[in-house]
Amino acid sequence: MGNIRVALAQLNSVVGDLEGNVKRVQEVLPHLKNCDLALFPEMTLTGYPLEDLVLKPGFVADSRKAVEKIASKSESCALVVGFADTGPNGEVYNAAAVCHQGEIKGIYHKRELPNYDVFDEARHFSPGDQPLQLFRINGVNVGIVICEDIWVSKGPAEELIQMGAELLVAINGSPYDNTKVAAREELVTTLAASSQIPVVYLNLVGGQDELIFDGGSMISDPNGNILTKTSRFYEETFLVDIDTPNIESPSFTDQLDHDWCIQISEPNERSDNYPHFVTSPLTPEAELYTALVVATRDYVQKSGFTDICLGLSGGVDSALVATIATDALGADHVHPILMPSRYSSDHSLKDAQELTERQGLVPQIIPIENTHQSFHDLLTPSVGDELPGFTDENLQARIRGVLLMALSNAFGWLVLTTGNKSESAVGFSTLYGDTAGAYAVIRDVYKTKVYELCRWRNEQEDSPVIPENILTKAPSAELRPDQRDDQRLPPYEILDPLLEAYIEGDRTRAELIKDGFQQELVDQVVKMVDLAEYKRRQTPLGPRVTTKGFGRDRRLPVVNRYDG
């Protein structure tokens, strides 16, 4: 039986910030004096995903310099650090360097490149093709892989096990969705049990554009039991001692004579012990809400902003976005703008003001009636006294969008939009109006889930932060007299399951009807979703929290006449 002390550094890297990411790794190094092996996430030094940054040879060269800088600071603890590497003919690799005593002892190039869902790695990287290596650290044979390498059957992870690995470690940049935690745990525990060796899974944390990395790093013992599980969504570094079995394989006794097993450090005796621990799981609501808070905080701050503004209507969507922003950034950095029109109800204005009072926000009230009338007067010679169709409704939304963007220009505030996934799906939004802004916080959250999150957030406080009236009144855009959402849309309790089946489930119209959805409803909703594709292509990105968010996940042609 062997033993190895491993540090798992669950870091929040910033894409492209090579200097800052080097500093983040260096800040961990003083805490590794008694460690044998320290793991850092996939693409630690570059951030992840890099997208077309990898097409810049200068950036990849700078990435190599960054890992060499880290290697020069390495001491008795071996460091596994993710970075972008280059080959002799200009190939770019998703790579992990093993650094020890001031040197790079070995480099592993990721072999399995995901090219599905949100991933485009086959576009950006070449697959690794060098011979696999084991690293003998503190007397333990360690196999190192990167993320997708452990998801592929008969891939590099299994090859390393066959070579005599006594511990398998995987560094990851695995993005969050509402199904991922269970899938990861099953993967790691199944691999450990089938191989009869411990498996260490380290994941990135933080928000990057549409993606959220949720940490949740873990260690499974050889029986498939989770020994250690870290916190979700937040940075932390923890140390743990792992017992490893001695693997008897045909090549084990003489493997140190081969170049595929690199001696890093000799065994050493220790009297102390770092035990395993398992953090408490989050409820689905806590998990989703925390993901949205982290995504909002990181998008704003990593983009170089400190403050945001948003239109606060007194409705449930803007109430949730304001609450998330306040939790992410602090009340002093959130600027709610109330822009009532002739159609705004007194209770909505009061509800919005009450929310700001409960959360310590300072609102600005900018009535749009005079501007609305002026635009109406300007249009009368062209279209007549009665503006046709949705012209008047959209006009109000666009006035509000203009005001928010003007405040953004004046004060350097980033604008958050407040539309949910149900509305975005069916086109229940106004281009250049309520879609005007930089970040759509609840873009991937269905309307029914919006209510669930609001109620969950209220339950976390002695005094609810979102007024009850916001949660009980009928949803309305308040762009015409006595308007309600259910005058144009089915009730959200009926609409959302159909949307989820069509969007996440990729069901066709015929399949939805076969599934039991009413034909008339299917025809109406499918048509609305398809027609709104051009709108969604012009709206801000937002955090992806389901298995198929609009954007990176779902890429349908805008012009599309398939009606099956």
User: What is the β-pairing status of strands 134-137 and 140-146?
Assistant: antiparallel
Residue 354 is among the residues annotated as catalytic for this protein: no
Q: Could you report how far apart the first and last alpha carbons of the chain are, in Å? A: 60
Strand partners, 243: 3
- Of 105, 110, 229, 449, which is the active-site residue? 110
Q: How far apart are CA 316 and CA 474, in angstroms?
A: 10
Please give the Cα distance from 237 to 216 (Å, whole number): 12
Whether 21 contacts 13, CB under 8 Å: yes
68 noted as active-site residue = no
Rounded to whole angstroms, the Cα distance separating 536 from 179 reads 24
DSSP secondary structure string for all residues of 5-69:
EEEEEE----TT-HHHHHHHHHHHGGGGTT-SEEE--TTTTT-S--GGGGG-HHHHHHHHHHHHH
Classified as helix, coil or strand, 176 is coil
Question: Residues with Cβ < 8 Å from 461, sequence gap 6 or more?
Answer: none
Nearest to 164 by CA among 129, 196, 118: 196
β-strand partners of 143:
134, 168
Listed residue (497, 494, 495, 477) closest to 485, CA to CA = 477
Q: What Å distances lie between residue 412 and 96, 303, 306, 308, 333, CA to CA? A: 39, 12, 9, 8, 11
- Please name which of 133, 116, 113 lies closest in space to residue 124, comparing C-alpha atoms: 113
Q: Which of 35, 77, 99, 147 is flagged as catalytic?
A: 147
CA distance 314 to 345: 9
Six token digits for residue 202: 């380290």
Q: Which phi and psi (to 5°) does residue 301 adopt?
A: -75, -40
Alpha carbon distances (Å) from 288 to 179, 207, 238, 251: 11, 13, 24, 48
Assess whether the previous peptide bond of 49 is cis (omega < 30° from 0): yes
CB-CB contact of 114 with 146 (8 Å) = no
Contact predicate 316/419, CB 8 Å? no
Q: State yes or no: is 309 an active-site residue.
A: no
Sign of CA pseudo-dihedral 383, 386, 392, 396 = positive
Sort strands 261-265 and 226-229 into parallel, antiparallel or unpaired: unpaired
3-state secondary structure of 533: helix
| CA dist., res. 83 & res. 106, Å (int) | 13
Just list the catalytic residues.
Answer: 42, 110, 147
